[in-house]
Chain A
Amino acid sequence: MSDRSLAGARRRPSRHLPLQVLLGFLVVYFLVPFWWVIVNSSKDAPGLFGGGNTLWFADHVDYLGNLRQLFTYDNGIYGRWILNSTLYAIAGGAGATILSVMAGYGFAKYRFAARRFSFALVLGALMVPATALVIPTFMMFSQLGLTNTIWAVILPSLLNPFGVYLMHVYARDAVPDEILDAARADGAGEIRTFVQVAFPLMRPAVVTVLLLSAVASWNNYFLPLAMLSDNRLFPVTVGLGMWQGIASANNAGSTSLWSLIILGALVSVIPLVIAFFTLQRHWRGGLSVGGLR
């Protein structure tokens, strides 16, 4: 049998109907919360609590009015939370990526003293629960006067041992030693070799690490919850969590806050969903690196 017919066998479209129906049910399950949030963020407080259909739109839909309310409530604190999350995600994500790429490349392509031991430490760190670090990091930062500043959130998110591991695996296979040696023979220094020769070869994994670390920073909750007391520094996760606590604590008194939380949840997920869908080609390729080799 020729190679061509083997490839054809794999691509032969299969339309197994029962499986597609099962898949349909699963898709509905995964989409229901989004549907509920999209539909109910169109409602005002009376519409939300008025006992209408909870899975369909209100009679009059007023997204713009609701959005205006969301972004003006409490002097526009919500917009600030989104900006804070963006800052934390970009600074933490970019910083963690630069450190991981350099370290992964260093571990993969150089032989130096204590290399094996250091790499074993990094692998061990994959198993340290991130949240076990929150309390002592808070204590250290409070003695340095760093708590309740943006640094309290950005600095801890620079640490990404999984990124180092991913980059190590990727650099080991994707950057041939011969190319590095050729660059050195042409007179390029180590840093220039890294930036101009190795880095372009590692780009798919770099995008994956960047995306994963930015998402981890955007999703962070426990750390900023512990570190920050000024609500103008909150990321959107901590801010919405706080609103939800307030709204639940005085049930009827804050019905309008509930509609803000629902719309706030919807708006807060839009940037990440866009990031994932536009970059999906890159991160999907990168994910298989950690799982396969």
Chain B
Amino acid sequence: MGWLFVGPFGIVFLALLIAPLGYALYLSLFQKKLIGGTSFVFLDNYVKAFTDPSFLSGSWFVIRFSLVSIPLQIIVALAMALILDAVTSLFTRFSRLMIFLPYAIPTVIGAVMWGFLYSKSFGPLTDVFGWFGTTPPDFLSTNLIFYGLVNVVTWQWAGYYMIILYAALQGIDPALYEAARMDGAGKWQIALRIKIPLITPALVLILVFSLIGTLQFFNEPQILRSLAAGTIGPDFTPNMYAYQQAFALANFNYGSAISFALGGIVFVGVYVFLFFTRKRRSFL
């Protein structure tokens, strides 16, 4: 009887998840040559990927980017959630909505908007830095694009993570704070020793989501590419490289291998993370 309810989703799951994954694996084991057509090459595409400077530098970029941007987003989100949980006023209620607002914006539109702001011809940076008599940093240059993207991602996601953490904080029984106060705990101690430990499941949840999202980075650099063509190449992230191989160069076999290898990296990354936090993994 349960299959009656699970079945329709099951069909979609098989057709749009299992089948494409199987097909990607199959495609990734072949190579298409101008002479001789398509031939089975087993793991050659993977050997090629893991020795391909484009794939390796893209993977290294998303790993470095995760290490910087995820902690930053979580710290900003956690700080905001703790402030909003501790301070009650009309202004904090307004702030909560405004900080969440960027999440309601498609990532593509968010990237387009920040592209405007970074622009030297009509962005505000030139004006703002002009007030202080200096010239603005060029966030679309090779040196600073990393931080330009960190900023876009933080702006886009911190508010969403804040809402999840805020909802978790609101679910804590206030009697615990009272008990802690009677034991002489101050506001900081309550935040650090009671609030943060109690919302660890929510923190783990957003960490996993941001890890999965960041490793498959595509939309923002793809959009900013047209403004920073010399800075962001078609192989900037593994996902962009796979897209280029498949759709610009019609090399679907190698594109599939890169997608699959990237999927493997995400899987390993998330599992390693969950392994280290397994005691706290109450959300799964």
Q: How far is the CA of A244 from the CA of B222 in the complex (A)?
A: 11
Q: Within the assembled complex, what's the spacing in Å between the Cα atoms of A40 and B122? A: 9
- B242 interfacial contact with A, CB 8 Å: yes
Interface pick from B44-52, B67-75, B213-221:
B213-221
- Are B283 and A290 within 8 A (Cβ)? yes
Report whether B242 and A135 are in contact in the complex, using a CB–CB cutoff of 8 Å: yes
* Contact (Cβ within 8 A) A219 B107: yes
The closest CB in chain B to the CB of A7 belongs to B174
- Whether B109 lies near A268 (C-beta < 8 A) is yes
- Using an 8 Å CB-CB cutoff, how does the interface string of B210-249 with A read, 1 for contact, 0 for none? 0010011011001100110100000000010011001100
1/0 contact string of B169-199 vs chain A (CB within 8 Å): 0110011011000000000000000000001
Residue B267 is within 8 A (CB to CB) of chain A in the complex? yes
Picked from B87, B206, B227, B252, the residue with its CB within 8 Å of the CB of A19 is B87
Q: Does A174 sit at the interface, judged by CB under 8 A?
A: no
A140 contact from B19, B155, B218, Cβ within 8 A: B19
Cβ contact of A293, chosen from B17, B19, B110, B283, cutoff 8 A: B283
The complex places the Cα of A218 from the Cα of B116 at a distance, in Å, of: 22
Contact A226 B114, CB 8 Å, known A10-B177, A102-B6: no
B residues less than 8 Å from A126 (CB atoms): 212
Residue ID in chain B nearest A243 by CB atoms: B112
Are the CB atoms of A139 and B226 closer together than 8 Å? no
Given A222-B243, A240-B109, A139 and B212 contact (CB-CB distance below 8 Å): no
Q: Tell me whether B17 and A133 are in contact (CB under 8 A).
A: yes
**Cβ-closest chain B residue relative to A55:** B124
Across-interface contacts of B153 in A (CB, < 8 A): none
Task: Indicate if the CB atoms of B89 and A269 lie closer than 8 Å.
Answer: no
How many A residues, CB 8 Å from partner? 107
Is the Cβ of A26 less than 8 Å from the Cβ of B6? no
Asked if B91 is at the interface of the complex by the 8 Å CB criterion, the answer is yes
Does A248 belong to the interface (CB within 8 Å)? yes
Task: Kindly state whether residue B63 has any CB partner on chain A within 8 Å.
Answer: no
Complex-state Cα separation, A145 to B159, whole angstroms: 41
Q: A248: which B residues are within 8 A, CB to CB?
A: 226-227, 229
**How many whole Å from A73's CB to the nearest CB in chain B?**
17
Kindly report which residue of chain B lies nearest to residue A125, judged by CB atoms. Answer: B17
Q: Does A61 contact B (CB under 8 A)?
A: no
Q: Which residue of B lies closest to A157 (CB)?
A: B16
* Interface presence of B148 (CB below 8 A): no
Closest residue on chain A to residue B225 by CB atoms: A245
Partner of B116 from the list A135, A136, A262 (CB cut-off 8 Å) is: A262
Q: Is the CB of B5 within 8 A of A110?
A: yes
**5 more A-B residue pairs beyond the given contacts A9-B178, A248-B229, with a C-beta to C-beta distance below 8 A:** A6-B174, A14-B88, A19-B87, A127-B270, A221-B108
Closest A-B pairs by Cβ, 5 of them: A110-B2, A106-B5, A291-B202, A103-B9, A288-B167
